[in-house]
């Protein structure tokens, strides 16, 4: 009975205690690394914020049009704060990963390894999406202004279409980067985009037949009265 | 700043010529139809008014494919005696060369400046290659103030049709006069006289990768001369009649280049214009007389339609920097019928000042901002045409003077918001 009790209760408990004793220093060092990471992250954030302000990065971003781009993207914070926050978070994330590694648990290591390998994809996808959004706003507005100045009645629609197309393209690229439905997304995009173009072509062909005829007649016969104003 | 390298033939010609008293520059691009007349007028002007001076005619071409440079090379006055009674005739030297850099008028001028500097020209003038009303007297009027009056910059003064030069009349003249205090009536006229010193000063500036290389050159030359206290005057040249500007030229691009250059110059010379509170007339040379002008056809309906389309679609952009009063006004103006259509002077001045402030504060991309001005400018032009339909030249001039006064009165608004 005694030996049974020894084998079933005491020995596993001993082994557990042994493992806990083996694991505890790792846990403490992991917590220490994690806390150091947070502190270092905050310090880095404060130092870099001062540094970026000292080199007048905000003025530069204002002059280069980057601030306007960010504002259009819904980001209202100054670039110095964004970058210093980013550096702070990078420090915290790096130390968090280090702290997890220091736990020396094979399962966590495997998960971390896969996560680390996938991380660049998330980063690149986020970047593509961010710049895609900014670019879609920029090109949509450029198309709108150009269409208005060309006197096209459907300028608003053209602007919105350009904006949507560019953003959809960026979204497709981002999803492809993440490996989500690789082939499907590209094909879907091609089908949707092709469909829109075909629909527009048919709509213009059927609905705008008379307008096109009138326009061509005007162009060829020169019926439209033109301005002779010299603006300069 | 790096200077441009001339073609071998041009460099050889410069080496041959060595030094001249007068240089006349003609920028061109596919102007074979009109440039012959301009070259003849220049040659006659030089022979008639400056027979004792060594002169050179420089054609700076943008890669014409219609034989413009050949026309320049082959045009000569065969029978000077029938034009000039007894003057000694010195041959006018010629250099015809393609220019380098961004395609545009400013790049063509840069080549002319570089050649003028290389051959140490004492007095220079530039005239457009599409002019139909140029006479030999233009050369005298643009060059004499430099040689005899020691002026550094001679701006042109013309009689133009009341609906001609609308960017000048509604934006550039009033704004430039208000900012820098000199009443130069045609700051972007295109035909200017200037001294060798002025050329050297222009060449110290590194602006040839900006819109100055395009249509921004005229306002840049005028403003640089005024803001740096060079001695300036105007010369009355008579009527300005020329072929329509490049038919393919996009109005919004032209407006963007000119207004954009004007706003850029406001940044460069903010230390100058912020201290100026009033304007003064500029000395005018030449005998002023009335001239007959060709009628100008205007399609008012199309202009008002473009204004309405702009108000409907671009309000999202304008809302970012226009005060609510202007937004309300534009909404109301959009609904007005042709007969009632009117954009008052004070609203127009506020629109321009708000654009200047928005460009200064970089509220949105500069190109988008300034190109969005086009429908408003077209609306204002339509309003001006309606208002002055039955007016004669002097009444129109009076109207422009009133606009200038409002620009000057509201300068405090610009100063207060220029932070």
> Hey, is the C-beta of B248 within 8 angstroms of any chain A C-beta?
no
ipTM of this complex prediction, to 2 decimal places:
0.86
For position B85, what pLDDT does the model report?
53
> CB–CB of A232 and B167 under 8 A?
yes
Q: Identify the H or E element spanning B280.
A: strand B280-281
Residues B258 and B333 in one domain: no
Mean pLDDT of A95-112: 87
Contact: B365, A156; criterion CB under 8 Å? no
d(CA B49, CA B193): 15
Q: Would the CB atoms of B362 and A67 count as touching at under 8 Å?
A: yes
- B66 and B188: one domain? yes
Q: Which residue of A has its CA nearest to B251?
A: A231
Burial (CB < 10 A; 0-12, 13-18, 19+), residue B397, is middle
Position B46 scores a pLDDT of 92
Q: By C-alpha distance, which of B256, B130, B123, B248 is closest to B192?
A: B123
Does any CB of chain A come closer than 8 Å to the CB of residue B319? no
Q: Which of B155, B118, B305 is nearest to B240 (CA)?
A: B155
The pLDDT of residue B246 is above 60: no
Mutate to test the interface with A, among B313, B363, B381 (most CBs of A within 10 A): B313
Per the domain annotation, does B254 fall within a domain?
A: yes
Query: Is A153 in the B-facing interface, judged by CB distances under 8 Å?
Result: yes
Measured between beta carbons, which residues in chain B are less than 8 angstroms from residue A141?
317, 364-365, 368
Range A78-89 average pLDDT: 90
Confidence band of B341 (pLDDT split at 50, 70, 90): very high
Q: Are B219 and B173 in contact (CB under 8 A)?
A: no
Q: Is residue B85 part of a domain?
A: yes
Backbone conformation region of residue B97, classed left if phi is above 0, alpha if psi is from -120 to 50, else beta: beta
Q: How far, in Å, are B6, B37, B89, B132, B164 from residue B83 at the CA level?
A: 35, 14, 11, 18, 32
- Residue B62 scores a pLDDT above 70: yes
B66 — pLDDT class (breaks 50, 70, 90): confident
- Last residue within a domain, chosen from B255, B285, B315: B285
pLDDT of amino acid B263: 97
Residue B245 has pLDDT above 70, yes or no: no
pLDDT band at residue B82 under the 50/70/90 scheme: low
What Å distances lie between residue B68 and B65, B128, B134, B182, B276, CA to CA? 7, 13, 18, 37, 44
Cβ pair A155:B215 closer than 8 A:
no
Residue A155 with chain B: CB contacts under 8 Å: 309, 313
Closest-CA residue of chain A to B241: A230
Asked, for residue A34, whether it belongs to a domain, the answer is yes
Q: What is the mean pLDDT of chain B?
A: 90
Contacts (Cβ under 8 Å, ≥6 apart) of A213: none
A218–chain B nearest CA distance, Å: 14
Under the banding of pLDDT at 50, 70 and 90, the label for residue B295 is confident
Whether residues B258 and A149 touch (CB distance < 8 A) is answered with: no
pLDDT band for B416, please (50, 70, 90 cuts). Answer: very high
**SS3 letters across A171-185:** HHHHHHHHCCCHHHH
pLDDT of B121 strictly over 80: yes
Range of the domain at A82: 1-104
Residues B128 and B249 in one domain: yes
Report pLDDT for B419: 82
Same domain, B37 and B88: yes
B280 and B204, same domain (yes or no): yes
> How many contiguous H segments (helices) and E segments (strands) does chain B have?
19, 10
Q: Does A65 touch chain B (CB under 8 A)?
A: yes
Number of domains into which chain B is organized:
2
Report yes or no on A73 lying in a domain.
yes
**What tens digit of pLDDT does each residue of A147-189 get?**
999 999 899 999 999 999 999 889 988 988 888 876 766 777 7
Answer yes or no: is pLDDT of B248 > 60: no
- CB contact B254 to A (< 8 Å): yes
pLDDT in tens, A197-217: 777 777 767 666 666 666 666
Q: List the single range of A17-21, A204-208, B72-76, B396-400 with lowest mean pLDDT.
A: A204-208
Does B82 touch chain A if contact means CB atoms closer than 8 Å?
no
Residue B312 sits in the same domain as residue B281: no
Mean pLDDT is lowest, of A151-160, A192-201, B16-25, B384-393, for A192-201
Q: How many CB atoms lie within 10 A of CB A83?
A: 17
C-alpha A6, offset from chain centre: 59
Higher-pLDDT residue of B1, B257: B257
Domain-ending residue, one of B259, B285, B311: B285
A146 to chain B: which residues are within 8 Å by CB? 252, 371
Residues B305 and B280 grouped into a single domain: no
Contact A230 B164 (CB under 8 A): yes
pTM for this prediction = 0.80
CATH for B30:
3.90.550.10
Cα–Cα dist B25/B35, whole Å: 12
> What residues does B158 pair with on adjacent strands?
B238
Shortest CA distance from B188: residue in chain A: A232
Q: Could you tell me if B297 lies within 8 Å of chain A, comparing CB atoms?
A: yes
Q: Does A217 or B372 have the greater pLDDT score?
A: B372
Domain that holds residue B45: 8-285
The C-alpha atoms of residue B354 and residue A62 are separated, in whole angstroms, by 19
pLDDT at residue B283, as a whole number: 95
B220-230 per-position pLDDT tens digit? 999 999 999 99
Does residue B78 carry a pLDDT above 80? Answer: no
DSSP conformation class of B287? -
pLDDT tops 60 at residue A223: no
Q: Is residue B274 classed exposed, middle or buried when 0-12, 13-18 and 19+ CB atoms within 10 A define those classes?
A: middle
Mean pLDDT of chain A: 83
């Amino acid at each position: 009975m005694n030996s049974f009790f020894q084998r079933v209760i005491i020995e596993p408990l001993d082994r557990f205690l042994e493992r806990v004793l083996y694991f505890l220093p790792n846990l403490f060092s992991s917590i220490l690394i994690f806390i150091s990471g947070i502190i270092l992250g905050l310090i880095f954030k404060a130092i870099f914020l001062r540094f970026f302000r000292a080199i007048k990065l905000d003025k530069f971003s204002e002059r280069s049009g980057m601030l306007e781009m960010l504002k259009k993207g819904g980001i209202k914070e100054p670039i110095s704060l964004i970058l210093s926050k980013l550096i702070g978070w990078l420090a915290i994330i790096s130390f968090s990963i280090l702290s997890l590694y220091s736990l020396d648990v094979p399962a966590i290591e495997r998960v971390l390894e896969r996560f680390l390998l996938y991380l660049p994809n998330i980063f690149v996808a986020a970047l593509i999406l961010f710049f895609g959004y900014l670019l879609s706003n920029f090109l949509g507005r450029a198309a709108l202004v150009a269409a208005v100045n060309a006197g096209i009645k459907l300028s608003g629609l053209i602007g919105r279409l350009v904006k949507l197309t560019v953003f959809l393209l960026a979204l497709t690229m981002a999803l492809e980067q993440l490996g989500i439905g690789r082939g499907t997304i590209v094909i879907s995009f091609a089908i949707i985009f092709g469909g829109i173009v075909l629909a527009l072509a048919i709509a213009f062909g059927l609905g705008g037949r008379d307008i096109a005829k009138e326009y061509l007649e005007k162009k060829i016969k020169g019926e439209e009265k033109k301005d002779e104003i010299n603006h300069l | 700043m790096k200077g441009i390298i001339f073609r071998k033939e041009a460099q050889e010609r410069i080496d041959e010529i060595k030094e001249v008293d007068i240089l006349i520059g003609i920028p061109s691009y596919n102007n074979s139809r009109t440039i012959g007349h301009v070259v003849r007028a220049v040659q006659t002007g030089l022979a008639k008014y400056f027979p004792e001076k060594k002169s050179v005619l420089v054609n700076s071409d943008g890669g014409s494919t219609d034989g413009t440079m050949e026309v320049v090379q082959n045009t000569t006055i065969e029978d000077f005696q029938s034009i000039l009674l007894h003057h000694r005739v010195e041959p006018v030297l010629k250099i015809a060369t393609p220019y380098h850099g961004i395609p545009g008028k400013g790049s063509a001028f840069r080549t002319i400046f570089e050649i003028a500097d290389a051959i140490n020209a004492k007095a220079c003038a530039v005239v457009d290659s599409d002019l139909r009303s140029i006479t030999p007297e233009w050369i005298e009027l643009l060059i004499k103030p430099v040689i005899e009056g020691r002026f550094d910059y001679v701006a042109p003064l013309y009689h133009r049709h009341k609906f001609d030069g609308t960017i000048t009349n509604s934006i550039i003249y009033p704004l430039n006069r208000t900012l820098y205090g000199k009443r130069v009536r045609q700051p972007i006229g295109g035909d200017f006289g200037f001294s060798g010193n002025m050329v050297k000063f222009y060449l110290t500036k590194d602006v040839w990768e900006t819109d100055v290389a395009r249509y921004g050159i005229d306002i840049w030359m005028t403003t640089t001369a005024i803001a740096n206290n060079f001695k300036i005057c105007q010369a009355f040249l008579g009527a300005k009649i020329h072929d329509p500007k490049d038919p393919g030229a996009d109005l919004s691009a032209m407006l963007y280049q000119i207004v954009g250059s004007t706003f850029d110059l406001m940044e460069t010379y903010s230390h100058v214009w912020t201290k100026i509170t009033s304007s003064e007339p500029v000395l005018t040379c030449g005998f002023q007389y009335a001239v007959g002008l060709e009628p100008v056809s205007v399609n008012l309906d199309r202009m008002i339609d473009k204004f309405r389309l702009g108000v409907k679609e671009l309000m999202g952009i304008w809302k970012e920097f226009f005060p609510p009063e202007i937004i309300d006004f534009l909404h109301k103006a959009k609904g007005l019928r042709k007969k009632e259509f009117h954009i008052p002077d004070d609203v127009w001045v506020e629109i321009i000042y708000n654009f200047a402030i928005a460009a200064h504060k970089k509220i949105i991309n500069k190109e988008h901002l300034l190109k969005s001005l086009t429908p408003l400018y077209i609306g204002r032009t339509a309003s001006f045409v309606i208002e002055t339909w039955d007016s004669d030249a002097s009444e129109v001039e009076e109207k422009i003077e009133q606009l200038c006064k409002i620009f000057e009165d509201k300068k405090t608004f610009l100063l207060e918001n220029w932070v």
